[in-house]
Structures are given as structure tokens and as C-alpha cells.
Amino acid sequence: SVVGLSAKYANERQQFGQPISGFGAIQHKLAEQVIRTFALESSLYRTGQLIHEMEQKLSEGGKSSGETLMGAAKEYAVECAILKVDGSETLDYCVDEGVQIYGGYGFSADYPMDRAYRDSRINRIFEGTNEINRMLAVDMVLKKAMKGELDLMKPAMAIQQELMEIPDFGDEDETLFAAERKAIANMKKAVLMVAGSAVQKYMMGLDKQQEILMLIADMAIQTYVAESTLLRVQKLAGMRGEEAVANQIDIAKVVMSDSVERLARAGRTAISAMGEGDEQRLLLMGLKRFTKLAPFNTIEARRRIAKTVIEKEAYSFA
């Protein structure tokens, strides 16, 4: 794999009398390759299971094999669009950093990273460009809402009401990922808040606001990938114990920390373009409220993750 090849070469390549895998900048790259791959994997496993369960349900209802396949694919078309975007961009990131780790040899056909880099780029173009898939994901959700297949109005109204109330600080939950689970729920609220505001402002002209559609899609992608990662690691911790999956817990916490920040940035950009005056201030206040997560030392977590991949010279985080 690109991750394994990157780690192996980082151990072999010497600079200043030591392997470059000993430098923090390289460790960050290796850890980030692992983190993004694991997060993507989590989303793929989750979506694959959802599609499989829907196929079984449709099959039990008397549908033909073709109808079950098409029906399940249609039901989770939004998730598939998200995966196409995140999958191709994760691969691009990993091979790009792989070339960086290989240095000049990354451009040589005698080394594997050159081929990986050239082969990766097309994925963001075919099967629908990533820009189209971003806009399509949001458009499909809104069309479901307009057809009455998905109720977005009640949650959106509940969020507006919540913004007018004093935050509920509640009792502090000390269980694993308690803060992260709350953050996921709030990330979903942030997506609904920004998407709802966009619909209210632009109505049927929303399809012409492509930048805003893509920002909303990015918010949704961050939420889906983060939640998928969290669900997977929670399950692993329950099966194997927290100590046995310490690296995976680090991965989930880094994903959460980064996803909340990326979502907040996309949300701010969209709100700044859509609103003004009191409306903008209220939306920004809501976004700040929904993107709170206690600080986490992602640098040390990445070092721990990098240590494992450097030692094993392979992706071994399933």
C-alpha cells in the first residue's frame, strides 16, 4: 500500500545521519496517511453494510435481484456520492505525501510512487467530478425533503428554537467518546442550520449558488466521515478493550478534532456569503455553539500513530 511504501522508504532514506522517519514533519505525513485511510475505510464499511441490509430488506419484500440492487443504491446515493469525493481525495492526499517522502525518486518510473501518483489523479474526474458529486449530494437531500421523503423542517425548527435557549451543560459524561458523540450531534445541527438558511435565502435559485452548495457538502462529508470513524472505534474498543485499540482511539480523536475545525471553517464561509446584520450574527453564534470540542493534543497522537506504522512498515490498523 502507499502507506506501507511510504513508511518503508522513510526508514531507508537517510538525512543528517538518521532515517527521515525520525523527523516530526515526516511522522506527521505518515500519521495523516493512516488517519485519512482509516476514516475512509470506516465510511466505506458503514455504507456497505447499510446497502447490504437494504438489499436484504427489499429481497425479503419480493423484489428481484436487479430491483434490490437499484433500490439499495438509490436509498444510499447521497452516501455513495460522499464516498466518491472522500475516497478520491484521500487517495490523492496519500500518494502526494508519498511522493514528498520519496523526494526526487518519487518522480522516477523506477519507483512505485510515480505510478501511484499518475494513476490517482483521474479519480477526482471520472464517475462524476468531485464538484458535481458535492452538489449532487446536497441536491438529492433537498429533493427528498421536497417530496416528503425526508423531514428536514422539524429538525431545522428545533435548532432555531435551541439557539434562543440557554445551552444545556448537563452532567459530565466520563465514558469513552462522550464528548465526541455530543460533538457529532452538534455537527449535524450545524449542517442543518446552514443548509436551512441557504434554502430560505435562495429558494429555487439555490442551484445557482454552487460555492455554497459545495461548502454545505463539505460540512456533511466531515460529519459523515467523523461519525463513521467514531462508530467503528467504539465497536473495536468494546470488542478488544481500550488498551488494545489505543492507536485507533487516537485516530478517532484526531479525526473528530480536525473535522470539527473543517466544518466550522466551511460554515463560516457559507454564512459570511449568505447573511448580514443580526441574521449573520445569530448564525455565527449558532455555528460557534455547535462546533465546540475540548482541545486534544493531535501532535502527540500523530506521533504515536506514526511510531506504529514506522515500526511495522505497513498499514495495520483494522
* CATH number for 16: 1.20.140.10
Residue 297 — φ and ψ, nearest 5°? Answer: -75, 85
Position 160 scores a pLDDT of 80
Contact predicate 137/144, CB 8 Å:
no
Contact predicate 84/130, CB 8 Å:
yes
Q: Which residue has the cell 455547535?
A: 290
Confirm whether 144 is domain-assigned: no
145: pLDDT strictly greater than 80: yes
Model confidence over 180-237: pLDDT tens digits?
999 999 999 999 999 999 998 998 899 999 999 999 999 999 999 999 999 999 999 9
248: pLDDT strictly greater than 90: yes
Do residue 70 and residue 171 come from a single domain? no
Residue 15 — φ and ψ, nearest 5°? Answer: -145, 135
Do residue 287 and residue 308 come from a single domain? no
Model confidence over 255-266: pLDDT tens digits?
999 999 999 999
Do residue 277 and residue 154 come from a single domain? yes
Q: Which residue has the cell 467530478?
A: 129
169: pLDDT strictly greater than 70: no
The mean pLDDT value for 297-303 works out to 99
Do residue 223 and residue 277 come from a single domain? yes
Confirm whether 115 is domain-assigned: yes
Catalytic site residue from 127, 131, 162, 279 = 127
Confirm whether 258 is domain-assigned: yes
Q: Which of 251, 259, 231 is nearest to 308 (CA)?
A: 251
Mean pLDDT across the chain, nearest whole number?
94
**Is-catalytic flag, 127?**
yes
Q: How many domains does the chain have?
A: 2
Q: Please tell me the number of Cα atoms within 13 Å of 281 on its side-chain side.
A: 3
79: pLDDT strictly greater than 90: yes
Confirm whether 133 is domain-assigned: no
The mean pLDDT value for 19-29 works out to 98
Give the start-end residues of each E strand in 46-146. none
Give the separation between CA 263 and CA 224, rounded to whole angstroms. 11
Q: Which of 154, 134, 133 is nearest to 196 (CA)?
A: 154
Do residue 122 and residue 158 come from a single domain? no
Do residue 279 and residue 308 come from a single domain? no
Residue 103 belongs to domain spanning: 2-128+304-312
Do residue 119 and residue 182 come from a single domain? no
Do residue 54 and residue 101 come from a single domain? yes
Residue 240 — φ and ψ, nearest 5°? Answer: -110, -15
Position 165 scores a pLDDT of 80
Do residue 7 and residue 122 come from a single domain? yes
Q: Which of 84, 90, 77 is nearest to 38 (CA)?
A: 90
Confirm whether 139 is domain-assigned: no
Confirm whether 30 is domain-assigned: yes
Contact predicate 247/237, CB 8 Å:
no
Confirm whether 143 is domain-assigned: no
Can you name the residues that pair with 14 across neighbouring β-strands? 19
Do residue 113 and residue 8 come from a single domain? yes
Do residue 44 and residue 155 come from a single domain? no
Do residue 289 and residue 167 come from a single domain? yes
Confirm whether 141 is domain-assigned: no
Give the separation between CA 180 and CA 252, rounded to whole angstroms. 9
The mean pLDDT value for 109-138 works out to 95
Contact predicate 95/116, CB 8 Å:
yes
Q: What percent of the chain has pLDDT over 90?
A: 85
